[in-house]
Chains A and B, each alone.
Chain A
Amino acid sequence: MQRVAEPDATHAMRSRSELIAFVLMVVALVVAPMVAYPVFLMKALCFALFACAFNLLIGYVGLLSFGHALFFGWASYVSAHAAKVWGLPPELAILAGAAAAAGLGLIVGALAIRRQGIYFAMITLALAQMMFFFAVQAPFTHGEDGIQAVPRGKLLGLIDLADQTNMYVTVLVIFLGCFLLIYRIINSPFGEVLKAIRENEPRAISLGYKTERYKLVAFVLSATFAGVAGAFFVVTMENYLTTIGQWVFVVQGAIFVVCVLLFRRGIIGELARLLGIRL
């Protein structure tokens, strides 16, 4: 599993621009709570982590999971239940949520990677729908009402998370930790194999890689990160129930259509292309 050698100069340049981008992001996130509402920022961080987890799958393995909200949602339920009913401290509740997401990821992933492409998307969507029905019927989720008033508790018994600043710093640290971990994963030899699978799976198989196993591990990792995002989401928001305005769907749909037709590299990618930057 030798890493493909890049010419030293371009490699150094790329890692330098990545480092600058990372530092800028950290500075922005540290300054942000002074100008914006911290709870909103924490929510955004959770979704950003969710997006990173999702990107690990679609961007680096080429697997489009349409049911990823399943892991987010179930991790939320499990952490909320653990924190509220079992009275676990927040760190254990969040671990429980992430573990639940990893377990579900193992089951869903093992089923879904048996098919490729659009079938993969449809299977993940169908299994997510199934777990949704299960969640609505199961007693511990309280159906349509959701789990309300989840306590934030004290992190490691020391840090009071009811304090907005403490909570924000915790979420930020976890977000950055997960971000760096994902970065490390995609730049490891394991990540290189994932990219090889994305580019040409039959060829990766012919080179002797057990691609199914790699795909499954990537799926479980992605599910776990999605679960961490969901667990933090429920702990910061203190409940798991959101009502969304109707037009949100229309706007969301329009964004999808525009992105597919105009910004096929993603909005940032298209902008970078216009400006002549190589990301």
Chain B
Amino acid sequence: MLEMFGVNPQALFGQLLIGLINGSFYALLSLGLAVIFGMLNIINFTHGAQYMLGAFCAYFLLQYAGLGYWWAIIIAPLLVGVTGIVVERLFLQWLYKLDHLYGLLLTFGLALIYEGTFRNFFGSSGLPYSVPPELQGGRNLGFMFLPNYRAWVVVLSLAVCLSTWFVIERTKLGAYLRAATENPTMVRAFGINVPRMITLTYGFGVALAALAGVMAAPIYNVSPQMGSNLIIVVFAVVVIGGMGSIMGAIVTGFGLGIIEGLTKVFFPEASNTVIFIVMAIVLLIRPAGLFGRST
């Protein structure tokens, strides 16, 4: 039936898979942005650079410590998360009472510093990072060939997204977090250390970005600009989904990845711009975003 439209099913499913992979990264990154924005009221422009740091961290661990992918996927988010905590303590904590724009400018400046430094030492061409031996190869599903590593990325990203959603929406810790977002003074009056919670939340959001970076390293190359290309698309995803809800960020992330994949099949010229076009349409119809509450 698909051939009727002049579409090769092999290509269609292939692009759908690529869309799902991209969607996994959009979802992980926009989830981190939403979590950070909820607690800190700061749009973390450094998110893309921290994703890049995660990938580079995996690369360094392999090159200089001989630790492979499985170690990297645990250590890199922790290390980069710690850098996030340092950044929060050094810079961000002074900005909470100010306009959003200051946080935006500061994190943008940090992103430029990270990216420029790495570009200076590693150039703009990517460094290769190989797929771990356990996940090499793939399986034939009859209608398409599914590389194991890509399946793993989709599954892991879904698992991380859903467990983050579960922790925030369904556990006591998450209840504290949501309460602190609504009214930090009141939560402090109950004896909860809100500033530390904010610091840890930022660390967690940054760790999510780094995790996405490690996952991306074997698929895309490890390169200094890998984050800045992605972060603007993720911003568009966040505008479309609205930052009000965690689930909204996850669903829009995967959904837009798939839309992008489908566009590559049916109208390849627009594949780079389709997300921005969707954003424009959403702004015209529902300015608050698909899952957002109007502010």
Contact = CB atoms under 8 A, between A and B. Distances in A.
A126 B236 contact: yes
B110 A137 contact: no
B273 A121 contact: no
B208 interface: no
User: Would you call the interface of chain A mostly helix, strand, loop, or mixed?
Assistant: helix
Contacts of B111: 253
B120 A250 contact: yes
A119 interface: yes
A118 B45 CA distance: 11
Contact of A259 (B100, B105, B120): B105
A133 B277 CA distance: 12
Interface in A102-128: 111, 114-119, 121-123, 125-127
B119 A118 contact: no
B144 interface: no
Given A123-B279, A126-B235, A133-B273, A252 B104 contact: no
A246 B91 contact: no
B287 A114 contact: yes
B279 A126 contact: yes
Contacts of A127: 276, 280
User: Would you call the interface of chain B mostly helix, strand, loop, or mixed?
Assistant: helix
A249 to B, nearest CB: 3
Given A111-B284, A126-B239, A250 B112 contact: yes
Contact of A123 (B94, B109, B233, B239): B239
B120 A126 contact: no
B110 A111 contact: no
Given A119-B239, A255-B109, A261-B106, A114 B283 contact: yes
Contacts of B114: 253
A188 interface: no
B interface, size bucket: 35 or more
B108 A256 contact: yes
Nearest to A117: B100
A247 B116 CA distance: 6
A83 interface: no
A255 B108 CA distance: 11
A256 B116 contact: no
Given A114-B287, A115-B283, A249-B116, A122 B95 contact: no
B232 interface: yes
A248 interface: yes
Contacts of A118: 43, 100-101, 104
B238 interface: yes
Given A249-B115, A249-B116, A253-B112, A122 B43 contact: yes
Contacts of A137: 269, 272
Interface of B: 43, 91, 94-95, 98, 100-102, 104-106, 108-117, 119-120, 232-233, 235-236, 238-239, 269, 272-273, 275-277, 279-280, 283-284, 287-288, 295
Given A130-B277, A252-B109, A253-B108, 12 more contacts: A111-B283, A123-B279, A123-B283, A126-B279, A129-B232, A133-B272, A246-B116, A249-B115, A254-B113, A255-B109, A260-B109, A261-B106
Interface of A: 58, 64, 111, 114-119, 121-123, 125-127, 129-130, 133-134, 137, 246-257, 259-261, 264
29 contacts: A58-B101, A115-B283, A115-B287, A115-B288, A117-B101, A118-B101, A118-B104, A122-B236, A122-B239, A123-B279, A123-B283, A126-B235, A129-B232, A129-B276, A130-B272, A133-B272, A134-B273, A246-B119, A247-B116, A249-B112, A250-B116, A253-B109, A253-B114, A255-B109, A256-B105, A256-B106, A256-B109, A257-B106, A261-B106
